[in-house]
Structure 1
Amino acid sequence: MNSNDTRRSLSKVPAITLAFWVIKVAATTLGETGGDALSMSMQLGYLLSTAIFAVVFIIAVSAQIRARTYQPTLYWLTIVATTTVGTTLADFADRSLGIGYAGGTSLLLFLLLASLAVWYKSLGTVSVESVATAKAEMFYWVTIMFSQTLGTALGDWTADTIGLGYVGGMLVFGSLLALLAAAYYWTNISRTLLFWAAFILTRPLGAVVGDFLDKPVQSGGLAMSRFGASAALVTFMVLCIAFLPQRAAVRGSH
């Protein structure tokens, strides 16, 4: 196979490995601390912060779609953009619009499922290995955007409304992810279904971890600086991207 054939056989997104999930959880946690840093610590509010992060998201997605091959730094920058805008957007809907965590979670779940349904009807698959065209990437990033926003609302709902707290939320979402991992290794359940389920659940896990790091001690957190926690997470992600092996997913591998 020549180099052109090799490029055509590769997806624009990373292969799903342990490194992918490690960086994904860090990115979702960064989305929570980074979003809160802008909206709360800098007191810009949810709406203005969402607008700022939305511009970053649009620029990052546009660059990602224009790229001809998978580029780890650009890909993860785009993921972080979805997590930060998802955080402030969910907080704006839940708190400023007053629809509450349950209402926000229900609405975003509907939008996420609708996005997946339209994607499947249009292209016949929602597998990440198929993400090699601009149309597939648009569906991919819209779906991710909804999943990141849903995860924020779901994490807050679990920790605050249901009353499990941040540690309780971490245990719940960590356990659900462990069950999905077991299903991956020991069942024949669709790998695409398991991927999207795990992808969605890593976001509320990151949300409750992020809140645990920066919320006041009396609220069950560690009261870390949001800027300090965000800087530590950025550093961790950079080291992971630099040193953990990553490769593009192979089209049609599943």
Structure 2
Amino acid sequence: MLNKVPEVIIYFWIIKIMATTVGETAADFLIGNLKLGLTNTTLIMSVLLIITLFFQFKASKYVPSIYWFTVVMISVVGTLITDNLVDNFGVSLVTTTIIFTVAMLATFAAWYASEKTLSIHSIYTSKREAFYWLAILFTFALGTAAGDLIAEGLNMGYWKSALMFAALIGVVTIAHYGFKLNTVLSFWIAYILTRPLGASLGDYLSQPRDKGGLGLGTTGTSMVFLVIILGLVFYLTKTRKDESKVVE
């Protein structure tokens, strides 16, 4: 059960951004190397995500390794779902962005109507955790669509898109700490924005130079970020610095 929340904010956001970047590059890596096709790759990764969620829901407390592996898996699947809609079904990036925005907002509305809170500090029941992971899935799918729409559809380019989303996160941070913007609202806005930030960053690092990237490749980019994530998760597991008291 997701009944413990990160105490050290900086670790949470560093790993979150890393996970979103890996979600973009790992999805591209799997599609390009498994040779199973986009649809089959999505199905396989979705089954693995379901298995991962089983262990996440079964856990009686916050376990960094399980939690962050779930985030990485849901990031990959969210990316693949969007790619399927765009590449296999011909749905435009504008339409997918709208679809996942509506789905995400509907999830938040149903969550709040049922539980009267959207705070991650209050996730101590299976029902609230189900809302949490569903909302995250839609934020990842939406972030992929929005990131690609800005970077590719509007021809802004990957690094400019990454800077734009990073600047928006900075605005939210200032609004929260400087002007007391509601904590829950600040969290979810920042959480949503980290996905297109990660997508743009991942594409900028991995895509060929003739497409506006640095040409590091999906393999190298994914491995670097995965190593950093594993290192941080190992550190948190040992030190338990991101744990807090169980919410009663």
Q: TM-score, normalised by structure 1?
A: 0.91
Gap runs ≥5 in structure 1: 1-7
CA separation of 1:220/1:104 partners in 2, compared to 1, >3 Å: closer, same or farther? Answer: same
Please give the residue correspondences for 1:44-193 in structure 2 after superposition, counting only pairs within 5 Å.
Answer: 44-193=36-185
Distance in 1 of aligned mates of 2:108 and 2:97: 16
Query: Which residue is 2:11 aligned to?
Result: 19
Q: 1:216 aligns with which of 186, 193, 208?
A: 208
Runs of 4+ in structure 1 off by over 4 angstroms are none
Instruction: Give 2:189's aligned amino acid.
Output: A
How big is the shift at 1:99? Answer: 1.3
Aligned residue pairs, count: 244
Q: TM-score, normalised by structure 2?
A: 0.94
Question: Cα deviation per residue 1:34-91 (whole Å; 9 max; x = unaligned)?
Answer: 0111113433322111111111111111111110000001000000011000111111
Equivalent residue of 1:11, what SS? coil
Distance in 2 of aligned mates of 1:203 and 1:29: 8
Identity of aligned residues (%): 37
Does residue 197 in structure 1 map to residue 193 in structure 2? no
Q: Conserved in 1, the CA contact under 8 Å of 2:204 and 2:214? A: yes
How big is the shift at 1:247? Answer: 1.5
Instruction: Give 1:138's aligned amino acid.
Output: A
Equivalent residue of 2:158, what SS? helix
How big is the shift at 1:129? Answer: 0.5
**CA RMSD for the aligned pairs?**
1.7
How big is the shift at 1:234? Answer: 0.9
CA separation of 1:139/1:127 partners in 2, compared to 1, >3 Å: closer, same or farther? Answer: same
Equivalent residue of 2:3, what SS? strand
Does residue 40 in structure 1 map to residue 32 in structure 2? yes
Does residue 207 in structure 1 map to residue 199 in structure 2? yes
